[in-house]
Amino acid sequence: MQNKFEVGKIVNTFGIKGEVKVALYTENINNFKKNNKIYVNNKEMQVEHSRLQKNMLILKLKGVDNMTDAEDLRDSIITVERSKKELPAGTYYIADLIGLDVYTDEGALLGKIIDIYNTGANDIYTVKTLEGKEVLLPAIKDVIKQVDIQNEKVIVHILKGLI
């Protein structure tokens, strides 16, 4: 289990007062509220303020007060600590699912989860099979039978015509 999650990347400076443009890796911008602690290249920093502008986040960090300081942060990865709050039942962090072994409900090893994306209706798990093929599995109750983060495995039921 990961203790920190990547939530964005600093892609450029913004203005002359030390603000930076952040490409977000998350829809949850609560991580960037005033006084929140974040990590920039694993260095702890504090958010002074933030705002959305088009599809980017404009971020001001305490102690970064001019364009030169901001320029030094270009291409830096922003991470946050894992929330202490429990997730609702049946909900998982994507980072915890990537790399898990996927077994059929008949006990056969299908492969590993290599990616997850959302279609709007539900998530889709991309599984790389032992043969090197990619299989797309919808994250619905009829298919995903059990997720066991501790034992690093997922048990799935393969519906007719799914593979």
Query: Sheet harboring 101-104: ordered strands across?
Result: 134-138, 123-129, 109-118, 101-104, 153-156, 144-148
Residues 36-56 pLDDT 10s: 999 999 999 999 999 999 889
Q: 141 CB contacts (<8 Å, ≥6 apart)?
A: none
- Residue 84: pLDDT over 70: no
All structural domains of the chain:
4-81 (2.40.30.60), 94-156 (2.30.30.240)
Sign of the CA dihedral with 53 first, then 27, 23, and 44 last: positive
Prediction pTM value: 0.66
